Structure 1
């Protein structure tokens, strides 16, 4: 079975995933918590997720690779990424994490105090 999903709003019905089934989806297709794997698939290692991009933060990365694990099911994951600079996935993650850390620090410095003031004024 091959299913293509574009967004979480798109309705699809899969009773169970079996060995050989393929779901192709975008990052907007939801968390995958509604995916059920068959006993045969679990016996063969569970759901395998291939991610062809580096998520913008660790939370989204963990969400992608933890699709059925939230239900205690087995699974594996792998990145298949081509980048123009030939950097390893480890180096790409290092750069991503540094940029995300800088973004969060700027939020703490520039925005958090404003939000606190607004919250105090409104409540």
Structure 2
């Protein structure tokens, strides 16, 4: 006898929950519904935890037990330092003698200083 005989039914076994399945599509929707229910519960728990943590933080801040969080400051590139920007024209700074287009004096060969690529301003330290 074969499985196409009316004597045998087309049951399947679910490998996730070991259930005997008659309609595979309906059983698949059942498992998807369970997964969605757990995802919805997880989102609700996370939202509740965040609201509670924010409320506790507000109460502690009002009581003066916690300092308010500082607002983030925009990062500005450093000025008048190696690899930074010129404070006058916002041009790039290089060490004198690195760029062949920027002339250096022989007396300055032993004393390193910065030169702005944009306005050729010399920045000496020390």
Length-normalised TM-score, structure 1: 0.25
Structure with more of its chain in strand, by fraction: 1
Using CA pairs below 8 Å that are at least 6 residues apart, which structure has the higher relative contact order? Answer: 1
Structure with more of its chain in helix, by fraction: 1
Larger-Rg structure? 2
